[in-house]
Structure 1
Amino acid sequence: MEKIIEIKDLKMNYGDKEVLKGIDLDIYKGNIIGYIGSNGAGKSTTIKIILGLVKGYSGSVSIFGKNIEDESNNYKEKIGYVPEIAKVYDSLTAKEYLTFVGQIYGLSYEKCDEKSQKLMNVLGIGNAYESRLSSFSKGMKQKVVIISSLLHNPDILFLDEPLSGLDANSVLLIKEILYKLKQEGKTIFYSSHIMEVVEKLSDRIILLDKGNIVADGNFEEIKNSSFDGSLEEIFNQLTGFEEHSQLCSEFVSILKEV
């Protein structure tokens, strides 16, 4: 299999806090990677380093066989990103926003316009193509952000809670699209707190806890290595969070206070 991302001894501190403590990862073409962990585990930091949005780390990150610090590596042209909290320019129409983003990635205005209209039609929001984004619902904005991340047909896709705000039918469609992209040889980093989706969608699951990788493999491999239950239950065992019942009772009892 073709190695598409190589991470060696990746460390990152914010002040005195160690966020990443020496991550080593080889990621191969055509895989959907479930990249999960508690808040503060280092997921977003890893992805932002790979995207070139965060500096000050030690270790190395290579994409397409070249270090990302190498100025000759134009890898950013071949990646797409859906952040957890996507910010769009509300004063723009969907047409203006998508043609703007597409041109940043090197597409012509005409090709951006043509593809954007077609993709919005497929996702059921084509009638709002020339409407301002300020008038869009959360789910509609999320669809526009997903389209913007894919418009240039990237080789690697980074998705942070990509299904946020989508209705059930849209969730099914986006999941099918991700499977199809995988079959086309795309590599997908998928980060979510919805363990059921990660379990079903991912070829490989990487679980971070306090800046370290504590599990790496497909779901069956992780489950067979001394763990039982769903991915959610395994996640709780590995991250040490097993206080649900106690905290639930405490929460409800406080509500009853008069």
Structure 2
Amino acid sequence: MTTPALSIRGVRRTFGAKVAVDDVDLTIDAGTFTGLLGPNGAGKSTLIACTVGLDRPDAGTAEVFGRDVWDEPDEARRLMGVLPDNLALPEYLSGRELLGHWGRLHGLDAAEVDSRADSLLRVLELDGSAERTLVLDYSTGMRKKIGIAVALIHRPRLLVLDEPFEAVDPLSAIAIRRILQSFVASGGSVVMSSHSMLLVESLCDVVSILVSGQLVLDEPMAQIRQRGTLEEVFIEAAGQPQDHTHDELSWLA
């Protein structure tokens, strides 16, 4: 049997009385593109943080290609690239300096780091003056793009991305889509959280839905399409939104 790209078992995370992630079990097969959906506050970002080693869960385990994220952190992190929520970056490095620093942390020699940085900066339209600009002065979309470059430069086998398209301009979004599709086509695995069902429906071959910290659906996209649109299946899994518009906002009419 092929080792899963990511195996999450019994992950639970609480903040005081609030249960953010409630005993989640999830397996991400190698070579798949999984979309993680859920309402605001469903626990997506918390689950990602617990999965990649940024936040220790109260219970449960996460393994990247069989490497325990907490017991074997160095080995696990070499295998994955991460774009977390509210990404904190060294503010007083330029984009190129940041990629160079990160590549060397992963043991790449200077020539290889420069070559990979050249490619990433060019494809993500961060070359030229942008690559010399301090991260401090990057827009939100530029920070997302350099964060994706950081996640990719060491050539991981698994990408875990939290809202990678947020605030990204349309042309850069097309470039990122092509990067991710090529990554999966070459054998990589992607887990991506998003609030865009159209994006998930067009890119992903598996969809997982979290509601109130619980995994309520984990199905191949092909199976979902047999039941309806992704939006219809999402509403079925997450619950119909309440419609108070007519009564509560009647003053707008």
Q: 1:68 to 1:84 in 2, by over 3 A?
A: closer
How many residues end up aligned between the 2 structures?
A: 251
Cα displacement (A) at 1:89: 2.9
- Larger deviation, residues 77-86 vs 24-33: 77-86
- Larger deviation, residues 183-192 vs 39-48: 39-48
Aligned pair 1:249/2:242, yes or no? no
TM-score, length basis structure 2? 0.89
User: Match for residue 160 of structure 1?
Assistant: 162
Q: Could you tell me which amino acid in structure 1 is paired with residue 42 of structure 2?
A: A
Q: Could you tell me which amino acid in structure 2 is paired with residue 206 of structure 1?
A: S
- Larger deviation, residues 107-116 vs 19-28: 107-116
- Larger deviation, residues 17-26 vs 74-83: 17-26
Contact 1:36 1:43 in 2 (8 A): yes
Q: What are the equivalent positions in structure 2 for 1:12-27 lying under 5 Å apart?
A: 12-27=13-28
Aligned pair 1:90/2:87, yes or no? no
- Larger deviation, residues 108-117 vs 194-203: 108-117
* Distance in structure 2 (CA, Å) of the matches to 1:241 and 1:91: 46
Q: 1:63 to 1:134 in 2, by over 3 A?
A: closer
User: Match for residue 218 of structure 1?
Assistant: 220
Q: 1:219 to 1:248 in 2, by over 3 A?
A: farther
User: Match for residue 203 of structure 2?
Assistant: 201
SS of residue matched to 1:115: helix
* Distance in structure 1 (CA, Å) of the matches to 2:201 and 2:221: 6
Task: Supply the RMSD in Å over aligned alpha carbons.
Answer: 2.2
Contact 1:84 1:162 in 2 (8 A): no
Contact 1:160 1:192 in 2 (8 A): yes
Cα displacement (A) at 1:113: 2.7
Identity of paired residues, percent?
A: 30
* Distance in structure 1 (CA, Å) of the matches to 2:223 and 2:100: 43
Cα displacement (A) at 1:72: 7.5
Aligned pair 1:235/2:234, yes or no? yes
Q: What are the equivalent positions in structure 2 for 1:1-258 lying under 5 Å apart?
A: 2=2, 3-71=4-72, 74-128=75-129, 129-224=131-226, 227-228=227-228, 230-243=229-242, 246-250=243-247, 252-255=249-252
- Larger deviation, residues 101-110 vs 161-170: 101-110
Q: 1:72 to 1:138 in 2, by over 3 A?
A: closer
Q: Deviations over 1:27-60 (max 9, x none)?
A: 2111001111112222112211111111242122
Q: 1:196 to 1:251 in 2, by over 3 A?
A: farther
Contact 1:61 1:67 in 2 (8 A): yes
Q: Could you tell me which amino acid in structure 2 is paired with residue 214 of structure 1?
A: V
* Distance in structure 2 (CA, Å) of the matches to 1:255 and 1:107: 59
